[in-house]
A and B are shown apart, each in its own frame.
Chain A
């Protein structure tokens, strides 16, 4: 087998050195009762070419070459060619967690830059080296808030990504952490502040809002912060569309920011691997989960970087750790770092404004359901045809339409969540607009 670098004579020599004559003898000490005693019921090993063919066959069974208007937490953005160039370098791809600083300055330096750029983007003081995804980052942020405030209750906006809320519930259930939902204004699509006022109390550890929210709308972070802080609760702000931070005011009033970086040159890849982050105010540093890279000096006085504040983590604190996280999404975070470097200060803003322009164009041709200001996603009430039918007709033209909202919001059945990015063409947007408008127009004419 091409990954086993031993010749038969090598093996023989080594077996001799071990004092055995066959490899099976090395397992002789295992109790008979546990031995498998047969071959695996798996197909025999195949060649490189056949492996490529297998996945080509799977690709053929997947849609390809479609224009897509799906967002909802995973976004189609252009991936600069430098990204795969960098992460494919063996020194990054095949290296281990940087516990041994002298052999890992490449990884450690790039993580330090990553942590810095996330802070600059979000307006927070400290960012960690990544979490599994935005959803688990949010759950960990809630647990952090509980530890920091010594309280148990969590209020989360209904306009936070539904799957993120589901993950939060899974974690919260076992932490004696009651979770309650906050409603949204049916006109604006934004957080219902009255609902927040009425539900918050002195047992509330965290108020969680997302911006742009699941409906694509820039939400009421400042007001939510005011209300939360007045009661001693922490404000957790979540983002799923990182490109929005290129133009949107960062959530400076947040205590904890939990977000998803998939938009930064991470392939949608049917849902993963992505990279979550947590960014916080300085004062909560000891409650922070995940790895942290810090700057220091070496024995010769050179600047160097190393993992630090490890006493928060599982390998030292064990059951009292801030989290059980060990492996994170380091290589994925590196993709995001390269992306942020390629676009840079001006490019990220320009990219965000292009997204805005595309979405504004599409929205101008259909009618957004909510009046709140949106970034690159918005909700449309589809009149006179079921959303499924609209999407079926679009598929015929190789266009994947928006997310039908009845999947997560029964009260918004008949509405669709459309996302336009810098990769959406005018022609495709016209197709979508026409498909939405035509049935309604036909109705209007006859009315």
Chain B
């Protein structure tokens, strides 16, 4: 195990535990206007008592606090995240720099349009690029995350069908789908009908033909699917749906496998979302922000969220006059700062660069599959693309599950892969290296996985009680859920 070695790691209390009255980390300038008495200005009943329990620390303590905390995290900057379906690729630092360009970062969403042409151009440029990449006709950048984009997309379908007299009742979702898909369908007011995958783990076209009827509004599909396998029958599926007046929604989470190779618009997709924080490198930041642009075919364009970017001559403007729009899904225009980063990413790559990225992403995943096939069970044997899914079947016989193996991987210096998803694989190990990993890093990952497979046979307890090398051991999630403590309180 030569990827990691122990090193003293600072402990750190909570802010409230080191707070002390009179400490301060700020200084406000002197007022250049007369001071006011808050009670006089607002009315005494409107003035609060002090914020009880709010911390008071110095600037040094504040910086040390967050710095120490940060050292307890793993991050892409440390090493690979083999998380399937997350596309944890390198977050380019130039993107951070340009997102902080003052005139863009400081722009108020309601400032005059004449003073916002630069920002609007950025968005228009990104819309056009994403349309080209996906093979679709129009793009909205308003949704703030993938799930938000999914909701937007399904609402677009609803509006389209409603205009035709019948919004229909249900959305078909494969049993291999990400949890946001059925959750989204429910919020959009549709019933969810599960469509089981075939024995090969892909779309069962025969089942689809039987199930699609006048009550079905759409099928939500991920392509390649959550097994990392390309849905070869996707065009056929699209035809089946269209013949019955239903639509095809694509979850674009796995777009990293397709760029420059195949475009969803070309294989029958009517509407899809993209995850800019996956395929387009914007940072995960510990859970967000993301952005979930939605790309549509012409027929759905009139329903896109309002406002839309419109150009008259050389001037860009926001068009609010969109009578058939589904309305707004977010205040203002979208996660602009995230959009800047995604555009910078696209500019850096260019068309052929994006294609090369996809090719390396797939090469890395297939390389890992070949190396680990002998050690982990491969439930589906078709060619995989940017990710590969093993099952823990072999190890489970010795009492060790995918979650344990993932935890042991931590001792080797890696973040675990995606554990227990998709649900159609028993005890799944879902691995997606992305294109920004070197052969070195990947070889070390492979070595670690092989070493663990051997440990399962010789010393399963070691794996079952992992991780051993971290600051903290496995946490008691049961206690956390039974008696939730969701905030600090003074003793």
Contact = CB atoms under 8 A, between A and B. Distances in A.
In the complex they form, whether A and B have CB atoms below 8 Å apart is answered with yes
A232 interface: no
B104 A62 contact: yes
B48 A273 contact: no
Contacts of A318: 179, 182-183, 192
Given A27-B362, A327-B277, A314 B147 contact: yes
Interface string A345-361: 11111110110111011
Interface stretch (B49-57, B201-209, B240-248): B49-57
Contact of A170 (B26, B65, B155, B471): B155
Contacts of A328: 145, 287-289
Nearest to B267: A34
A258 interface: no
Contacts of A269: 99, 104-107, 336-337
B189 interface: yes
A35 B16 CA distance: 58
Residue of A100, A136, A328, A340 with most partner-chain B CB within 10 A: A100
B371 A17 contact: yes
A203 interface: no
A299 to B, nearest CB: 4
A64 B471 CA distance: 47
A321 B184 CA distance: 9
B491 interface: no
Contact of B103 (A19, A42, A60, A247): A60
B348 to A, nearest CB: 6
Nearest to A43: B350
B118 to A, nearest CB: 4
Contacts of A102: 407, 410, 467, 470-475
Interface string A273-292: 10100000000010000011
A267 to B, nearest CB: 4
B347 A51 contact: yes
Interface stretch (B76-84, B294-302, B393-401, B448-456): B76-84
B111 A63 contact: yes
Interface string B235-265: 1000000000000000000000000111100
Given A62-B116, A129-B287, A344-B56, A1 B62 contact: no
B54 A117 contact: yes
B26 A74 contact: no
Given A26-B363, A106-B73, A300 B472 contact: yes
A130 interface: yes
A55 B382 CA distance: 44
A97 B484 contact: no
B172 interface: no
Interface string B349-382: 1111111110110111011001100000000001
Contacts of A353: 35-36, 38
Contact of B59 (A2, A5, A55, A82): A82
A56 B470 CA distance: 44
B454 to A, nearest CB: 20
Nearest to A110: B69
A5 B437 contact: yes
A23 interface: yes
A410 interface: no
A332 interface: yes
A357 B66 contact: no
B180 A296 contact: no
Given A23-B359, A403-B110, A35 B262 contact: yes
A389 interface: no
A259 interface: no
Contact of B487 (A116, A175, A329): A116
B475 A39 contact: no
Given A101-B475, A268-B109, A321-B183, A6 B262 contact: no
Interface in A1-50: 1-6, 10-11, 13-15, 17-19, 23-24, 26-27, 29-31, 33-36, 39-46, 48, 50
Nearest to B346: A42
Given A273-B338, A321-B183, A17 B472 contact: no
A373 interface: yes
A144 B81 CA distance: 35
B34 A52 contact: no
A170 B326 contact: yes
Interface residues of B, number: 200
Nearest to A126: B486
A270 B107 contact: yes
A344 B291 CA distance: 31
Contacts of A121: 51, 54
A103 interface: yes
A125 B73 CA distance: 28
A174 B188 contact: yes
Contacts of B88: 96
A96 B86 contact: yes
Interface string B306-337: 00000000000000000000111111111111
B119 interface: yes
B121 A61 contact: yes
Given A344-B57, A403-B110, A42 B132 contact: yes
Contacts of A161: 331
Given A98-B287, A321-B183, A34 B266 contact: yes
A439 to B, nearest CB: 20
A50 B415 CA distance: 35
B169 interface: no
B436 A4 contact: yes
Contacts of B35: 353, 357
Interface in B78-102: 78, 81, 83, 86, 88-92, 94, 96-102
A400 interface: yes
A414 interface: no
Interface in A170-184: 170-171, 173-176
Given A174-B155, A300-B473, A325 B28 contact: no
Interface in B408-427: 410, 415-416, 421
B431 to A, nearest CB: 14
B236 to A, nearest CB: 10
Residue of A17, A101, A268, A344 with most partner-chain B CB within 10 A: A344
Contacts of A91: 70-75, 77-78
Given A93-B283, A269-B104, A342-B59, 13 more contacts: A1-B348, A1-B349, A5-B437, A14-B439, A40-B350, A42-B346, A95-B286, A110-B69, A120-B51, A273-B288, A273-B289, A327-B290, A345-B54
20 contacts: A36-B261, A55-B340, A56-B101, A59-B103, A59-B104, A59-B118, A61-B121, A62-B103, A95-B74, A97-B286, A107-B73, A174-B155, A245-B51, A297-B479, A327-B284, A331-B285, A344-B23, A349-B50, A373-B42, A429-B33
9 closest Cβ pairs, A-B complex: A331-B285, A271-B332, A63-B115, A40-B351, A90-B77, A330-B287, A45-B350, A299-B473, A61-B118
